[in-house]
Structure 1
Amino acid sequence: MLGLLFAFLFQLFQISELPKTRAEISNFTETSTYSDVITFIEGISKQSEIINSTVFGKSFEGRDLPLVVLSKPKITSPQEAHSSGKLIVLLLGNIHAGEVEGKEAILHTIRKFHSDEKFKKLLNELIILAIPILNADGNEKISTANRPHQKGPIGGVGIRENSQGLDLNRDFTKLETPEITSLVMNVFNKWKPHLLIDCHTTNGSYHGYVLTYATNLNPNGDERIASFIRDELLPEVTEKMFKKYGYRTFFYGNFIDPLDPSKGWITFDHRPRFGTNYFGLINRFSVLSEAYAYADFKTRIDATEKFIEEILMFASKNRKKMLKLIKQVDSETSSGKIDSLGIKFQIAGKPAEIWGYKTIEYIDSLTGEKKRKVSDKIELFKTTNFGEFKTVKKRSVPDAYVFPGNFEVVAEKLKQHGIKIEKVKGKFKAKADVFIVDSLKRSERKFQGHNETELFGRFEEMEVEIDSGYYYVQTQQEKLGLIFYLLEPESDDGFANWNFFDEFLIAELKDKGKAIYPVYKIKNKLRR
């Protein structure tokens, strides 16, 4: 009996010694610095039997990017994770370093696996990959001038972009930042997580939810994956969040017209440059978490933390079902039976009732200026939720994409995405769909350092001769949706859009008045 008492007291002592975050220590007036995060991870790792703390890459300024692996028993390699039969969940925080709630919530979640034995039992079904501070450089540029519209922390937060001035959550297709390139190559491709929870904080509308959410919005991801999140996981988590904590949650969006909520509630973009869309495009489960900027800092962290916890509990309970669905989708995607995918998309809406606040327009009696103010009374508005995208135009899926060997940069990007690619050995002829470019249009304003390109033209079927040294990308791969999106000439987020072929195409158009897009869609099986 005395031995049990000592064991209990020892465990209690250990729990009391678990580190606290800067947010907690400061009574939620400050957010954690990079040094705080590393110290927290080191402190908890020293007394942990379930943590493998490692580094998956470096920031643009050279900071180590920490990856915390929680598992029971402790594992040290992706191979051990894959052979475990467990569902691998990635928690991602601070991709925008002004949106710090995920960073703090993920640290709290790591700690809870050490202080709550019931919560720790989730590791019987799950392996957790935790990245609390992806935008490490942006985090260190803390200032009270950043995100002044939100309620705290009064000590300030970091900035949205990384040290290149680029938005990490617009980089998933072009891979121009070391942070996202490392995330894709060293976490997505090596650890192969099944579920992503990506934590953010809102910028937009006043509404009645402490947290909003989304899943993959790109229709080229398998609909069964998105439907599972949208129709099974999120409804259950929504119910738990309200019943257990009193937190209202709903699908992410903003009122199209704050003065008239009946005009609609609209979500964000379908393109895979966004992390949760990218993850869905490779047929994995993804959840976007958006804490409400106008809730106080402590509440935003707590809501994000509780949201993560409820998702993890759902995932643990549904592990077998989720793994079975992924296996089925992967098999079908790589079978060669998918003959077409979307190239143009349109947002779709359906009736909804959404909690929000009236915005009132008035004339300032002193200045005569037209101003707006937000009512403090919450109301339920009947409106339309424009929350999904539908395919309105498709293109055929070829047997393979083939392009000349001098486009090494394109080949290297495909490899970074984890796409299988090989070089042709020996000439051959094949029938192909070839895109004839009549003109191209570049955006007038730069976006993320690019004047995005749109190609105009038509496909023609012709016989092409493929030389030795060409790159060959077979489409019978699990990442078919991503291959299609990156290499199709009309893609709104592919390599053509991001200027990878501009120099070649502009020269050809100038010289010949038209150009052949250098990626051929091979229609017949290659016999080599």
Structure 2
Amino acid sequence: MFMALINLHTMKYSKPSLFLFFLLTTISCKAQWSAELITTPEKTNYHETSTYADVMNVIKAVQEQSDLMHLEYMGTSLEGKQIPVVVMADPMVTSPEQAKASGKPVIYIQGNIHSGEVEGKEILQILMREILLGDKQHLLDNQIVLFAPIYNADSNDKMEQGRRPSQEDSPVKVGIRANSQGWDLNRDGIKMEAKETNALIQNVITKWDPEVFVDLHTTNGTWHGYSLTWAPSYHYAGEKGPYRLTWDDMLPSITEKVQEKYDVHLGPYGGYSLRQGWPPKAIYTYNHHPRYLVNQMGLRNKIGILSEAFAHERFYQRMNSTYAFVAEILEYTRENGEEIARVNDEAERNAIRNVQEHAGEMKKGVRFNKTPMDETFTLRTYEYIPYKNEEGEDRYVRSGNIIEVPGVQNYSKFEATVESTLPRGYIIPGELKGIADHLKKQGAEVKQLEAPVEASGEVFTVTKLERSSREFEGHYMVRAEGSFAEISREFEAGDYWVDLAQPLANLIFYTLEPQSDDGLVTWNFFDDYFEANGIEEGSVEYPVFKYYELD
């Protein structure tokens, strides 16, 4: 930086000339990037987005000039592309062990989970450049920052015009939403069929144990009046602390800072329907399912944040709002990293303590309905003009004005419609090795019994399997109906034993409970077992035993 080379105390300036000096030197400093550090949108006046090779070239160029960066790969895609993870720390760390020894929280941010939604991919390259080589190195003072700018690496390069009409061809060509296996990577958090999901959960989430997970997206077209909307990890079967910190303090604080520093308006994620009339009386978020990666973080006792840039703004504007949001997230985590880690650690201890002290008594939700928050809010939105068509029906046309609508309900809360008792653990028959292996992939601790044991607990009898008539992500999803009954049962050596008193207690509970709306039953993991045991003819016992005490 030129300014660092000049002793301002020995120079005399009038106030206007001093201002001009700072302005010119700042502009000069910003202009000093070498060509290989300039991203594709910057080079093309924001008409184009980066290819996989473009992203890797920028990463490698930054790496050559920085001693604060470690590059590793979370895994390899179906088409053979390595998925980069840039680890930034001062001093540099190259392993989770070093990160843990440093005492600094790990913050993980990813872009390009849907390859048509490209802002995250681009601004992570820019922020990486500024953190490691520019004026944002202070963001590494007391935290370790991981960027994965191109998570859906294969589909990024399958670019065509017209892929995202709501983005109004800005940029002109983008990649496709699904990965090369055909899966939506943001619906794969429980079933884990995608190579990318397995790589992420095993080689980032489990390995690096980030305190905060941020997933960068673009909306699908709602004409609200925000440049970017956000959501926390929606999951009420998890511990409340991380959610409360995110919703009550972190997101409001960041929203205020972004407006103050960047003049960019942020707000809560949600859409409304003109079928309900104008002006809108309510907005509705998406849902609570842990198939969505941000939501799953709540069940992992961590903070999750969803970022959704406003599709109808131009590419450079969407980059600007996403940049501002991510930059201020990192400023917040820098200032509040210890508190974030404390809240997350307390959530983990509470999850374990609940099992140890309240197994057999505490109930947790396994199915939920979306309900409004207790308080209304003022919605910023584009204005619609009502009129009647020739048939006398109400119709609406959007104007170019942004207005504020007070008293709007925000359907962003979830209340349990079905609850289940928290057990001390689960026992899985030895022949269902695939179920045990799947839990291990999620990071759960699963052991095999070394000797026979007797357990008292509950067995669930399935009286009805309701199967969806529509295929979703390659599955006809299942809903199990039935009832629990108390029983004691003996289990053999070789059966799988899951002691629920472990950090992922809430995730395991939601995954294994037979009535869960997003568990392994939902995703057809037990279909073969049910069919082999005659579910078409009558009731079948769910094979996973829920125990409260081992003898």
Match of 2:462 in 1: 437
Task: Give how far 1:244 is off.
Answer: 1.4
Q: Following the alignment from structure 1 to structure 2, what is the Cα–Cα distance between the partners of residues 68 and 288? A: 20
Q: Following the alignment from structure 2 to structure 1, what is the Cα–Cα distance between the partners of residues 364 and 518? A: 14
User: Which of 333, 337, 344 pairs up with 2:367?
Assistant: 344
User: Which of 104, 111, 128 pairs up with 1:110?
Assistant: 128
Question: What do you get for the CA RMSD once the two structures are aligned?
Answer: 2.4
Q: Deviations over 1:204-250 (max 9, x none)?
A: 31011000000011101211110101111111111111111111111
Distance 1:510 1:169, change over 3 A: closer
1:247 corresponds to which letter in structure 2? V
User: Which of 387, 390, 401 pairs up with 1:377?
Assistant: 401
2:399 corresponds to which letter in structure 1? S
Secondary structure (helix, strand or coil) at the match of 1:169 reads: coil
Match of 2:499 in 1: 474
Whether 2:297 is the aligned partner of 1:279: answer: yes
Task: Give how far 1:399 is off.
Answer: 1.0
Q: Following the alignment from structure 2 to structure 1, what is the Cα–Cα distance between the partners of residues 371 and 466? A: 27
Whether 2:498 is the aligned partner of 1:498: answer: no
Whether 2:510 is the aligned partner of 1:485: answer: yes
1:320 corresponds to which letter in structure 2? E
Distance 1:40 1:346, change over 3 A: same
Secondary structure (helix, strand or coil) at the match of 1:107 reads: helix
Extract unaligned runs of 5+ from structure 1.
none
1:378-417 superposed matches below 5 A: 378-382=402-406, 383-417=408-442
Secondary structure (helix, strand or coil) at the match of 1:128 reads: strand
Q: Following the alignment from structure 2 to structure 1, what is the Cα–Cα distance between the partners of residues 488 and 351? A: 27
Distance 1:364 1:351, change over 3 A: closer
Whether 2:123 is the aligned partner of 1:100: answer: no
Q: Which moved more, 1:411-420 or 1:378-387?
A: 378-387
Q: Deviations over 1:333-390 (max 9, x none)?
A: 122235332112122214121011233466889x999975311111212321111212
Q: Following the alignment from structure 1 to structure 2, what is the Cα–Cα distance between the partners of residues 150 and 330? A: 40
Quick check: 1:440–1:453 contact (8 Å CA) kept in 2? yes
Secondary structure (helix, strand or coil) at the match of 1:43 reads: helix
Match of 1:27 in 2: 45
Match of 1:65 in 2: 83
Match of 1:230 in 2: 247
Distance 1:484 1:469, change over 3 A: same
Whether 2:308 is the aligned partner of 1:290: answer: yes
Secondary structure (helix, strand or coil) at the match of 1:277 reads: helix
Whether 2:464 is the aligned partner of 1:447: answer: no
Match of 2:17 in 1: none
Match of 1:522 in 2: 547
Q: Following the alignment from structure 2 to structure 1, what is the Cα–Cα distance between the partners of residues 102 and 31? A: 29
1:343-362 superposed matches below 5 A: 343-349=366-372, 350-360=375-385
Task: Give how far 1:261 is off.
Answer: 3.9
Quick check: 1:256–1:266 contact (8 Å CA) kept in 2? no
Match of 1:16 in 2: 33
Match of 1:180 in 2: 197
Q: Following the alignment from structure 1 to structure 2, what is the Cα–Cα distance between the partners of residues 256 and 460? A: 44
Distance 1:80 1:261, change over 3 A: farther
Distance 1:449 1:511, change over 3 A: closer
1:85 corresponds to which letter in structure 2? G
Q: Following the alignment from structure 1 to structure 2, what is the Cα–Cα distance between the partners of residues 264 and 39? A: 45
1:136-151 superposed matches below 5 A: 136-151=153-168
Q: Following the alignment from structure 1 to structure 2, what is the Cα–Cα distance between the partners of residues 448 and 60? A: 17
Q: Following the alignment from structure 1 to structure 2, what is the Cα–Cα distance between the partners of residues 361 and 450? A: 41
1:159-308 superposed matches below 5 A: 159-257=176-274, 259-308=277-326
Secondary structure (helix, strand or coil) at the match of 1:122 reads: helix
Distance 1:13 1:456, change over 3 A: closer
Quick check: 1:15–1:114 contact (8 Å CA) kept in 2? no
Extract unaligned runs of 5+ from structure 2.
9-24
Q: Following the alignment from structure 2 to structure 1, what is the Cα–Cα distance between the partners of residues 67 and 456? A: 58
Q: Following the alignment from structure 2 to structure 1, what is the Cα–Cα distance between the partners of residues 379 and 130? A: 33
Match of 2:328 in 1: 310
Secondary structure (helix, strand or coil) at the match of 1:52 reads: strand
Match of 1:49 in 2: 67
Distance 1:364 1:44, change over 3 A: farther
Q: Following the alignment from structure 1 to structure 2, what is the Cα–Cα distance between the partners of residues 248 and 6? A: 37
Quick check: 1:344–1:393 contact (8 Å CA) kept in 2? yes
Q: Following the alignment from structure 1 to structure 2, what is the Cα–Cα distance between the partners of residues 490 and 313? A: 41
Task: Give how far 1:263 is off.
Answer: 3.3
Q: Following the alignment from structure 1 to structure 2, what is the Cα–Cα distance between the partners of residues 35 and 462? A: 59
Secondary structure (helix, strand or coil) at the match of 1:110 reads: helix
